[in-house]
Amino acid sequence: MMKKFLIVANWKMSPETPARAKALFSGIKKAAARAKNAQTVVCPPALYLSSMATAGKNVAVGAQDVSYESDGTHTGEISARMLKAAGAKYVIIGHSERRARGETNGIVAKEIGAALKEKLIVILCIGERERDTHGEYFSFIESQLRESLAGIAKKDMGRLVIAYEPVWAIGEKAKEADTPEGTFEISLFIRKILATIIGKEKAFAVQILYGGSVNPNNAAVFLKRGGVQGLLVGRASLDARTFGEILKSASMTKNI
């Protein structure tokens, strides 16, 4: 049986106050309870995690980053164990906004190791900065995958989700989302690379998400034609009604 679509909200550094976070979360929880055929994950700023830990039906919470250190003198860092204790089930790792601040594939690999040790589900973000006409972005994506997954044990692959997020399609400066056809091609490529690392069968079971300017108008089309089993949503996850519409289209779309 195929899994439900996985729809992840990445709130980034919003909302500004705990009261607003609570209101947004309660709106999303209601929408998620109605969207029975989708699994919703909300990733708030880490500070809000524990107040959201008693998530509702079809909803889990996740973190946006994790330290690769387990404890000790690391000012400002948050360990995987702390995230787990605060109620996180998922963690986004290697988001392009973190990579832009210096996170390399090597660091990402260590973070993945730390998260899996605590049995968190890892949402590994990969994606090219630009889509050149010579297809060099394929080798860029291949190295991101191979280097980030360098230390992963086959037994942990069941707790791995890959989010394909072309950097040029993310955030306010993005011109547009990818096309479902473009994402379809990349999703096949990702699975092909995964198969060489973990074998065909395990690679087939890994959920691949698309992220980058997802909105209620394009969500269903990515799920139907993009070869992906879910979405990672930034801006459109900061309004409960808008995100609710995305959940509704995911819940109504068949996951084949």
Which residue is closest to ligand PEP by CB? 234
How many angstroms separate the CA atoms of 226 and 179, rounded? Answer: 8
Q: Strand (E) positions, 95-198?
A: 121-126, 160-164
What is each CA distance from 220 to 33, 80, 253, in whole angstroms? 19, 33, 7
Q: For the CB of residue 169, give the shortest distance to ligand PEP in the complex, in Å.
A: 7
Q: For the CB of residue 239, give the shortest distance to ligand PEP in the complex, in Å.
A: 12
Q: Which of 95, 97, 128, 245 is catalytic?
A: 95
Q: Strand (E) positions, 127-246?
A: 160-164, 207-211, 230-233
Q: Which of 97, 111, 165, 245 is catalytic?
A: 165
Q: Which is nearer to ligand PEP, 156 or 245 (CB)?
A: 245
Binding site for ligand PEP (CB under 6 A): 10, 165, 170-171, 174, 211-214, 232-236
Q: Are strands 230-233 and 160-164 parallel, antiparallel or unpaired?
A: unpaired
How many angstroms separate the CA atoms of 80 and 71, rounded? Answer: 10
- Active-site residue 165, yes or no? yes
Q: For the CB of residue 155, give the shortest distance to ligand PEP in the complex, in Å.
A: 28
Q: For the CB of residue 95, give the shortest distance to ligand PEP in the complex, in Å.
A: 6
Work out the burial of residue 16: count CB atoms within 10 Å of its CB; fewer than 13 is exposed, 13-18 middle, 19 or more buried.
Answer: exposed
Residues tagged active-site: 95, 165
